[in-house]
């Protein structure tokens, strides 16, 4: 695959960062429209997206720098390729910080929590789809070895340096599976937003759907560095996926109780 899209002199454009950037721009475009569908102020929602995006990027990169501080002190120039590193723990940490910052900002602006979450559900799934597309190009979160005809083979040394992807081996394009799953989820959520019965329904479906996508696709990912529980039957991201499904179910149950009450 292609961890670098192209070079401009000595400056390179990484595929992972470019894909995520495109996903964010599309998500902002979609969020402006889903905000209107949910009867929210689109400008308020756009500002909320900017705040949470900054919190996501800053928190995950600061954690990465902190974990590699001893090496960066000796080689400061490594901070540029370090920005291309992707890891599920970084994503989880960044998402938690961004979510907390978003909730605090929304409360300060007196934005309705559940309605805002519904409006942002499809954009979040869309960003996840493009993030996984970028991971596929870069070799991050690579799959297990396989003999299927649609396997991918990484040959660029940067895929091994940045993401640890094995070179020359036929691998499941698991990132592509996840990208398709998140894209389908984004479309489903966009279609379901105007039909929701109560505020919070679409957000609950996002949590459920994301949990299912992560849980299923992890079976085709290489297990290195992803943790193991229950004797290796499950890994760390799958435990997080189960938590997403449980929380999503609780959100939907709470909405049903409100309707029934």
Q: For 19-55, what is each residue's pLDDT tens digit?
A: 888 999 999 999 999 999 999 999 999 999 999 988 8
Confidence category of residue 258, pLDDT binned at 50, 70, 90? very low
How far is 42 from 47, CA to CA, in rounded Å? 9
pLDDT above 80 for 125: yes
Q: What is the pLDDT of residue 156?
A: 86
Residue pair 125/186 in contact (Cβ under 8 Å)? The answer is yes
State percent of the chain over pLDDT 70: 84
Q: Which of 106, 90, 99 lies closest to 124, judged by CA?
A: 99
Q: What is the mean pLDDT of residues 54-64?
A: 78
How far is 175 from 156, CA to CA, in rounded Å? 17
Bridge-based pairing state of the strands 11-14 and 170-171: unpaired
Residue pair 177/218 in contact (Cβ under 8 Å)? The answer is no
pTM equals 0.85
pLDDT above 50 for 107: yes
Confidence category of residue 259, pLDDT binned at 50, 70, 90? very low
Specify the length of the chain in residues: 261
Structure tokens, 49? 């997206």
**Residues contacting residue 17 through CB under 8 Å, at least 6 positions apart:** 83, 84, 134
Angle, helices 42-67 vs 88-108, to 10°: value is 140
Structure tokens, 106? 């929304």
Confidence category of residue 255, pLDDT binned at 50, 70, 90? low
pLDDT above 50 for 251: yes
**By three-state DSSP, how is residue 4 classified?**
strand
> Residue ranges of the domains in the chain?
4-260
CA dihedral 72, 73, 75, 77 (to 10 degrees): 70
Q: What is the pLDDT of residue 260?
A: 35
**Element holding 171 (H helix, E strand):** strand 170-171
Minimum mean pLDDT range among 92-101, 176-185, 206-215: 92-101
Q: What is the mean pLDDT of residues 94-118?
A: 90
Confidence category of residue 10, pLDDT binned at 50, 70, 90? low
């Amino acid at each position: 695959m292609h961890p670098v899209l192209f070079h401009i002199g000595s400056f390179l454009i990484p595929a992972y960062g470019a894909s995520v950037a495109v996903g964010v721009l599309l998500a902002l475009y979609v969020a402006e429209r889903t905000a209107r569908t949910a009867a929210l102020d689109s400008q308020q929602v756009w500002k909320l997206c900017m705040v949470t995006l900054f919190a996501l990027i800053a928190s995950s990169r600061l954690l990465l720098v902190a974990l590699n501080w001893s090496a960066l002190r000796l080689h400061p120039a490594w901070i540029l390729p370090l920005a291309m590193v992707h890891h599920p723990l970084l994503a989880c940490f960044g998402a938690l910080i961004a979510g907390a910052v978003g909730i605090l900002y929304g409360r300060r602006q007196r934005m309705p929590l559940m309605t805002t979450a519904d409006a942002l559900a499809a954009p979040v799934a869309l960003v996840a789809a493009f993030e996984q597309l970028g991971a596929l190009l870069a070799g991050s979160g690579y799959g297990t070895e396989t003999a299927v005809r649609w396997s991918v083979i990484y040959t660029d040394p940067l895929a091994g340096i940045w993401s640890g992807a094995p070179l020359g081996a036929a691998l499941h394009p698991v990132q592509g599976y996840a990208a398709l799953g998140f894209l389908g989820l984004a479309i489903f959520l966009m279609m379901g937003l105007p039909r929701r019965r109560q505020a919070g329904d679409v957000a609950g479906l996002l949590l459920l759907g994301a949990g299912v996508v992560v849980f299923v696709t992890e079976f085709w990912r290489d297990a290195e560095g992803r943790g193991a529980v229950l004797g290796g039957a499950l890994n760390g991201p799958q435990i997080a996926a189960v938590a997403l499904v449980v929380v999503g179910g609780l959100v939907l149950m709470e909405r049903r109780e409100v309707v029934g009450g």
